[in-house]
């Protein structure tokens, strides 16, 4: 087994933000394999997040983020358990990253459970209809539709989107990492995203049509 050096432990700590003892333990378990140790720490973080998810989180922060010179704005609420954790640099960095994610990726929901059941049903039926047009076997429709539905969730659900700073991770992964690092239950509660001029295009088109019609009437 490779010798676990202080330099290796420090390198893993800098990459993951985990504690020194956890880094040394995972490196030992992974026989010095840095990538494997990082994966073990990730799994440990996810387990820790799952254990803490039921704990009350009523502190935290409401943050704003303005992007593209005032063309996109985000309001975001992220909760944690204590005011002390809310002032933690790691928590503040998480809030900023999530706000940037909302600005860049335009999710519609925080988690898939928030999507109206009727909307999900319609999405499934639409996918199945498309598959039938492609002459896919009826027995395969459910499985293929489930895969396409997961892709739909990865587009509209914040926690399931690829993280904009590292698309090998989901937003849920960086949330779990923050929970492991800070040691408290952390929940993304809600967000609002505003894009300059959003929803006005149709009105402008209708206005153009009305002008054209009026011009035709004058002739």
pLDDT, tens digit, 9 for 90 and up, residues 81-104: 999 999 999 999 999 999 999 999
**CA 147 and chain centroid, separation:** 19
The rounded distance, in Å, linking the Cα atoms of 174 and 17 is: 11
Question: Structure pTM?
Answer: 0.68
Percent of the chain with pLDDT over 70: 83
- 57, 51 contact by CB (below 8 A): no
Are residues 39 and 28 in contact, defined by beta-carbon separation less than 8 angstroms?
A: no
What pairs with residue 170 in β-bridges?
162
How high is the pLDDT of residue 18? 65
d(CA 18, CA 206): 56
Length of the chain: 219
User: What b-and-e string marks burial along 17-41, b requiring 16 or more CB atoms within 10 Å of the CB?
Assistant: bbeeebbbbbbeebeeeeeebbebb
Confidence at residue 182, expressed as pLDDT on a 0 to 100 scale? 86
CB-CB contact of 163 with 174 (8 Å): yes
The residue behind tokens 């090998």 is: 168
- Distance of alpha carbon 36 from the chain centroid: 24
CA distance 85 to 135: 55
Phi–psi pair at 53, nearest 5 degrees:
-65, -20
Q: Checking phi first, is residue 51 left (phi over 0); if not, alpha (psi -120 to 50) or beta?
A: alpha
Backbone φ and ψ for 12, nearest 5 degrees, come out as: -70, -40
Matching residue, tokens 């800098």: 14
Q: How far apart are CA 10 and CA 214, in angstroms?
A: 72
Contact residues for 54 (Cβ-Cβ < 8 A; gap 6+): 185
The parts of the chain modelled with pLDDT lower than 50 are: 207, 218-219
Position 143 scores a pLDDT of: 84
């Amino acid at each position: 087994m490779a010798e676990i050096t202080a330099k290796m432990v420090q390198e893993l700590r800098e990459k993951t933000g985990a504690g020194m003892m956890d880094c040394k333990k995972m490196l030992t378990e992974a026989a010095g394999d840095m990538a494997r140790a990082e994966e073990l720490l990730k799994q440990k973080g996810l387990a820790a997040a799952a254990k803490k998810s039921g704990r009350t989180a009523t502190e935290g922060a409401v943050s704003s983020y303005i992007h593209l010179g005032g063309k996109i704005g985000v309001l975001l609420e992220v909760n944690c358990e204590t005011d002390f954790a809310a002032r933690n640099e790691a928590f503040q960095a998480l809030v900023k990253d999530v706000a940037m994610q909302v600005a860049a990726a335009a999710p519609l929901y925080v988690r898939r459970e928030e999507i109206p059941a009727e909307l999900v049903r319609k999405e499934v039926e639409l996918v199945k209809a498309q598959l039938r047009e492609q002459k896919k076997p009826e027995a395969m429709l459910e499985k293929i539709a489930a895969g396409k539905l997961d892709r739909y969730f990865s587009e509209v659900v914040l926690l399931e989107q690829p993280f904009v700073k590292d698309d090998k991770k989901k937003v849920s992964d960086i949330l779990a990492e923050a929970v492991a690092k800070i040691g408290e239950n952390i929940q993304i509660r809600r967000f609002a995203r505003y894009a300059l001029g959003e929803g006005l295009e149709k009105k402008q088109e209708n206005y153009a049509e009305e002008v054209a019609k009026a011009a035709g009437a004058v002739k």
